[in-house]
Structure 1
Amino acid sequence: MVEIIIQYVLIVFLVMGLAYLAYLLKDKDSNLKDDYFGFASVILGSLTTSEFTPENAKTILRIISRVVQNVEINYRDSDNALKEEKAIQLAKDATSLLGFKKNIDGESLKYLIRVAAALLPPTNKAIK
């Protein structure tokens, strides 16, 4: 009998949690189809509300992708930590040219650079 009551209480908490999540998403006026796998909230969270658009997220993702490709081509034999620092610096410089009131923080750039590096085409090296 106690187990059944506990199950009902847990179901009620689950429904309340889902309702609260729906409330938060509606309150932020976030559209999940324009979130680009969660990257838009990471990028746009550090921007002002007037700069909070999916088009800006696309532009920033494209810039970071090009920066990572450029760093991989020019610093092919360098250490990954050096490549990451160089990519962060170049990405900061490139995104500052967009004219946003607030720049994207370094941690967000670091995560996006790591994802962009993981999505690069494979090299001809054998996987060990």
Structure 2
Amino acid sequence: MLKEFKEFIARGNVLDLAVGVIIGSAFTAIVKALVDYIINPFLGLFLGSIDFSAFVIKVGSASFKVGSFLNAVINFLIIAFVVFLIVVKAVNAAMPKKEEEPAEEKVDPQVELLSEIRDLLKK
């Protein structure tokens, strides 16, 4: 079982995944800093404070921190948009576009049939 586990870990795709997760977490820290320290203050100039954490719904003794959830959703959307702009758009611009093969012209079935008859008559 240990040998099987060692083979599993030694496969390239597992190591690639591990490297991807590590780089992804480091990149997440960079993007979060960009959003927290540059984008959110810039948005704060126009929208005021973007903090809903004080919004709590209490039912009996339970407190539902809906505002904190909204903050997390807003931060996610901002981070996703920034990643889209920085990474996805940059990669799409850098990668060469695949040329589409020209579609074959559709020939009318009657014309095709007549062409076949003509070719047979020539023989």
Question: Could you tell me the TM-score, scaled by structure 1's length?
Answer: 0.37
Q: Which is higher, the Rg of structure 1 or of structure 2?
A: 2
RCO higher in structure (CA 8 A, sep ≥6): 1
Which structure features the higher share of strand residues? 2
Question: Could you tell me the TM-score, scaled by structure 2's length?
Answer: 0.38
